[in-house]
Amino acid sequence: MLEQALGAVAELDRAVNGEKAPGAAEVVSIREPIERLVLRWRALLDPAELRLCWVAGDVHVLVDPVRLRQTLENLIVNAREHGRSPITVAVSTAPVGVRIAVGDAGPASGVGPDPVRNGRRGHGLTVAAEFAAAHGGVLSSWQRRDGGTVVAIDLPLVSSLHPGRPFAHRCPPGTGGAPVAGEAQVPAPAAAHIA
């Protein structure tokens, strides 16, 4: 019964935000849904707790936009529950794709090959790995030198129509683009290890 109620709340949230139910992948510009997600979270938090660093153009990917939002919300919730503010959502491009990274300012959030699972908790990284794999991408994570954790989803690019323009500010080194010298790469949970 609780799951039915949660499903009804999720359906209402989708209707209010003009989203479809989870379904087939479609070509979408990721800029608008990510900016909308960050603005919604900033309304719930102190705006200084969540930063968006956009160093990608108007990139298009083939994804289920509802599952993209759900996955990124899981990563933001994980960063809030297990890390310290500010949380940074960093979007950057590479020659073959786009990277969407969510990082916290430490302490380490327990990512790794054996995240602690207790009840329904601890499955967010597995869900994110499944999302990435289902859309031709990969999930990676690493520990920053300052103790923070970054979890990144790399997705293949459909097209990039415009040169990069910052939404808020350039991302400081180590906040989500890629591990920098001295930061340890941590294996992400494999989708195949789901119980």
- For residue 15, the Cα-to-chain-centroid distance in whole angstroms is 22
pLDDT computed for residue 158 by the predictor:
81
Q: What pLDDT score does 47 carry?
A: 86
The residue ranges of every structural domain in the chain are 22-193
What single-letter DSSP state applies at residue 5? H
- pLDDT score recorded for residue 125: 87
Question: pLDDT higher for 93 or 121?
Answer: 93
**Total-model pTM:** 0.69
Give CA separation, 86 vs 81, 104, 172, 177, in Å.
12, 6, 13, 16
Q: pLDDT averaged over the chain?
A: 73
Residue 173 pLDDT: 55
The span from the CA of 118 to the CA of 50, in Å, is 27
Cα 55 from Cα 72, distance rounded (Å): 18
28 three-class SS: strand
Q: Please check the confidence at residue 38 and state whether its pLDDT lies above 90.
A: yes
pLDDT digits (tens, 9 = 90+) for 70-96: 999 999 999 998 888 999 999 998 767
Question: What CATH class has 22-193?
Answer: alpha beta
Find residue 121's DSSP bridge partners. 118
- Per-residue confidence (pLDDT) for residue 88, from 0 to 100: 95
The SS3 call for residue 10 is: helix
